[in-house]
């Protein structure tokens, strides 16, 4: 490739920068608050709405489905499969993205386009929820409102966790979180995931702790996990269809959870978002686990 023929990446970067700096879009190093914000990540968008700053949003990613009003905004695609051109076509003067947004090449191009880009740290415990709220508020230039919202949510978290804790002398429920069962393979949560975090906050224990992240389980590992309850995301396919998949699985059918029909399905963003609704997620999950028991 000659010097006169720039690489595709360089051409994209130049085009993105030209679009981002189009006349009237924004002034470099502007001191006024951003007015055209693209929010990437369901919990990030929830926080923007909870802060009362939704009028500044001009776009959101596909995981941003709550509150319902968010879905009226232009959709820039799934947060891990973004198109830099699609994001920049909305002429943002600020991009606020959850940690893990990607792919890396798209994020690199967005950063090169001279549009402020704030990355919001992820986490799966009580402290992480407050930190996420404060980080979004800081990015939006609303630290005082962020501190107030973080304190409010943290107090609600403390109450929900206290109510969810197993009574003295009672063993906490063993919960197996199944992300998917494609092809009959059980893809389950180990340590360090959002599922692992919300299970702990709800006063239960993860039935799988031999690995980190999400991994497929062998039939032997499924049986050895011996879950009291099976937890899944509600994907809208119908509760009975999911139940048939679980009880009809050769290994799952042998677990205490499947034998007793203890299957809990909850909204994925509520369950795993770790945003302002986390206290509600804890209460809903703890109640569902109690009912399943």
Kindly report the CA angle at 81 between 78 and 87, in degrees rounded to 5? 75
- The pLDDT of residue 245 is above 90: no
Q: Which range among 23-27, 173-177, 243-247, 283-287 shows the weakest confidence by mean pLDDT?
A: 23-27
Grade residue 239 by pLDDT with cuts at 50, 70 and 90. Answer: low
Q: CA 129, CA 123: separation in Å to the nearest integer? A: 7
pLDDT at 42: 98
pLDDT at 237: 64
Q: Which residue has the higher pLDDT, 234 or 95?
A: 95
Nearest-CA neighbor of 246 among 196, 190, 184?
Answer: 184
Q: Which range among 180-184, 237-241, 249-253 shows the weakest confidence by mean pLDDT?
A: 237-241
Grade residue 7 by pLDDT with cuts at 50, 70 and 90. Answer: low
Q: CA 272, CA 265: separation in Å to the nearest integer? A: 12
pTM value is 0.87
Q: Which range among 12-16, 117-121, 165-169, 238-242 shows the weakest confidence by mean pLDDT?
A: 12-16
Q: CA 249, CA 244: separation in Å to the nearest integer? A: 8
pLDDT at 189: 98
Q: Which residue has the higher pLDDT, 166 or 60?
A: 60
Q: Which range among 118-122, 170-174, 266-270, 288-292 shows the weakest confidence by mean pLDDT?
A: 288-292
What DSSP state is assigned to residue 106? H
Annotate 222-257 with b (16+ C-beta within 10 A) or e (fewer).
beebebbbbbbbeeeeeeeebbebbbebebbeebeb
pLDDT tens digit sequence for 68-89? 999 999 999 999 999 999 999 9
Nearest-CA neighbor of 141 among 58, 40, 30?
Answer: 30
**E-strand stretches of 140-282:** 174-180, 186-189, 205-206, 214-217, 229-233, 263-266
Grade residue 247 by pLDDT with cuts at 50, 70 and 90. Answer: confident
- The pLDDT of residue 284 is above 60: yes
Q: Please name every residue paired with 263 in a beta bridge, in sequence order, or none if there are none.
A: 230
Q: Please name every residue paired with 118 in a beta bridge, in sequence order, or none if there are none.
A: 96
Q: What are phi and psi of 115, to 5 degrees?
A: -100, 125
Q: Which range among 33-42, 176-185, 238-247 shows the weakest confidence by mean pLDDT?
A: 238-247
What DSSP state is assigned to residue 169? T
Query: Domains in the chain, please, with CATH?
Result: 8-120 (3.40.50.1980), 174-292 (3.40.50.1980)
pLDDT tens digit sequence for 197-233? 999 999 999 999 999 999 999 999 999 999 999 999 9
| Distance between start and end Cα atoms, the chain | 65
Cβ-in-10-Å burial (0-12, 13-18, 19+) of 283 comes to middle
pLDDT tens digit sequence for 14-60? 444 444 444 333 433 345 789 999 999 999 999 999 999 999 999 99
pLDDT tens digit sequence for 87-146? 999 999 999 999 999 999 999 999 999 899 999 999 999 999 999 999 999 999 999 999
Do 175 and 85 touch, CB atoms closer than 8 A?
A: no
């Amino acid at each position: 490739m000659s010097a006169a023929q720039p690489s595709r990446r360089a051409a994209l970067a130049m085009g993105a920068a030209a679009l981002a700096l189009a006349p009237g879009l924004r002034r470099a190093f502007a001191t006024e608050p951003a007015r055209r914000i693209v929010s990437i990540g369901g919990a990030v968008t929830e926080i923007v709405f909870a802060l009362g700053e939704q009028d500044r949003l001009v776009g959101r990613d596909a995981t941003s489905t709550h509150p319902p009003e968010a879905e009226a905004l232009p959709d820039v695609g799934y947060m891990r499969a973004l198109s830099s051109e699609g994001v920049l076509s909305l002429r943002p003067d600020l991009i606020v993205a959850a940690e893990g947004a990607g792919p890396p090449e798209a994020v690199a191009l967005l950063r090169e386009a001279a549009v402020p880009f704030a990355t919001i740290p992820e986490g799966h415990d009580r402290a992480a929820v407050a930190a996420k709220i404060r980080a979004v508020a800081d990015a939006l230039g609303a630290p005082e409102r962020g501190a107030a919202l973080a304190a409010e949510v943290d107090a609600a978290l403390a109450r929900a966790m206290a109510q969810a804790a197993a009574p003295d002398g009672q063993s906490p429920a063993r919960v197996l979180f199944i992300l998917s069962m494609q092809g009959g393979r059980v893809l389950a949560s180990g340590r360090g995931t959002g599922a692992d975090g919300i299970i702990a906050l709800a006063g239960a224990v993860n039935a799988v702790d031999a690995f980190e992240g999400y991994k497929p389980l062998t039939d032997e590992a499924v049986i050895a996990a011996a879950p009291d309850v099976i937890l899944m995301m509600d994907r809208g396919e119908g509760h009975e269809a999911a139940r048939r998949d679980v009880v009809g699985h050769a290994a799952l059918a042998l677990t205490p959870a499947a034998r007793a029909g203890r299957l809990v399905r909850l909204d994925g963003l509520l369950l795993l978002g770790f945003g302002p609704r986390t206290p509600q997620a804890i209460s809903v999950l703890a109640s569902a686990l109690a009912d399943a028991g």
